Amino acid sequence: MVKNISNLKGLLVDFDGTLVDFKKAELNAFTKIMLESFISKSKIHEINNEYIKIDHALWNLFEKQKITLPDLQHGRFRQLMEVYPEIKENPSEINKKYLQYLIHETYFYENVYSSLKNLQKSNIKVIIITNGIDWVQKERVNKLKLNPLINGMLTSDQVGYSKPHPAMFEKGIELLQLDKSEIWVVGDNPQADIEGASNIDLSSCLITESLSKEDNNSNPDIIVNSFPEFVKIILKN
């Protein structure tokens, strides 16, 4: 039997890359704002790759508490425009448009919704914990009609700290009202999710659906390809 999974009564679950396909949402939203900025379709892929590098670097700094969320939001498109000056829009305005498109382009991975329903039927509590902008993440959850299937949601914007900071997980434990031995953390980020769980002595499951092999330098208790796969393991035990 997998480590203490038979005791599981609650989950702290990441959102992007775990429940929803963030890469797809990000690309679709980015493509729309580039087309509105009169960037040719043939160049969007190249510019998007540069944006992803900039965005990931800034999120890494944010997760280490080295920059604020406004720094991240305003900085990513400003830095991108330094590389591609043909993008003529105001960085703050283009960021606002991007976030609105991101909300509309949010979609579950396959079988996630039914898996959440099965967890609810089995009386397993689910709290979403996500590093992100509070109003954006809540709008995305609303778009998916997810609220009836979860027991709450925490954003780094709301808590004041980002994963892997212990405060995010401690607040989640508080909302679940369960013992640590009854809680698992599920996510696709080896640092933010898995190391964060380890630092506070919580069991963890790494989702690899959106993860490249070289990105995984953590030590989760379970590694699976998808959230529904982990739910099947839970319900078998």
Residue 212, pLDDT above cutoff 80: no
Select from 128, 115, 114, 151 the least CA-distant residue to 234: 115
Amino acid 216: pLDDT: 61
Can you give the CATH number for the domain in which 175 is found? 3.40.50.1000
Write the DSSP symbol of residue 147.
G
Phi, psi of 11 (to 5 degrees): -125, 140
Amino acid 234: pLDDT: 95
- Tell whether 98 and 116 lie within a shared domain: no
Task: Place 215 in a pLDDT band, splitting at 50, 70 and 90.
Answer: low
- Tell whether 45 and 130 lie within a shared domain: no
Q: What is each CA distance from 126 to 31, 39, 73, 106, 116, in whole angstroms?
A: 33, 41, 28, 19, 8
Amino acid 105: pLDDT: 95
Domain boundary among 72, 104, 136: 104
Task: Place 36 in a pLDDT band, splitting at 50, 70 and 90.
Answer: very high
**CA–CA separation, 60 and 82 (whole Å):** 20
- Tell whether 224 and 133 lie within a shared domain: yes
Domain boundary among 76, 104, 132: 104
Residue 104: both structure tokens together? 């509309």
Task: Place 9 in a pLDDT band, splitting at 50, 70 and 90.
Answer: very high
Answer whether the bond into residue 164 is a cis peptide, omega within 30°: yes
Task: Place 65 in a pLDDT band, splitting at 50, 70 and 90.
Answer: confident
**The pTM is what?**
0.91
Select from 156, 163, 206 the least CA-distant residue to 184: 206
**CA–CA separation, 34 and 36 (whole Å):** 5
pLDDT, mean of residues 12-16: 97
Phi, psi of 61 (to 5 degrees): -65, -40
Residue 53, pLDDT above cutoff 90: yes
- Tell whether 128 and 226 lie within a shared domain: yes
Amino acid 213: pLDDT: 52
At 124-162, the pLDDT tens digits run 999 999 998 999 999 999 999 999 999 999 999 999 999
Non-local (6+) Cβ contacts of 123 within 8 A are 9
Instruction: Please state, rounded to an integer, the average pLDDT across all residues of the chain.
Output: 93
- H or E stretch including 138? helix 134-143
Non-local (6+) Cβ contacts of 54 within 8 A are 75, 76, 79, 80
Task: Place 230 in a pLDDT band, splitting at 50, 70 and 90.
Answer: very high
Can you give the CATH number for the domain in which 59 is found? 1.10.150.240
Residue 1, pLDDT above cutoff 50: no
Task: Place 115 in a pLDDT band, splitting at 50, 70 and 90.
Answer: very high
Q: Beta strands 203-207 and 183-187: pairing type?
A: parallel
- Tell whether 56 and 145 lie within a shared domain: no
Select from 207, 200, 133, 214 the least CA-distant residue to 170: 200
Q: Which residue has the tokens 């976030």?
A: 99
Tally the domains of the chain: 2
Q: Which residue has the tokens 């995010």?
A: 168
Domain of residue 150 covers: 5-21+108-236
Domain boundary among 82, 104, 126: 104
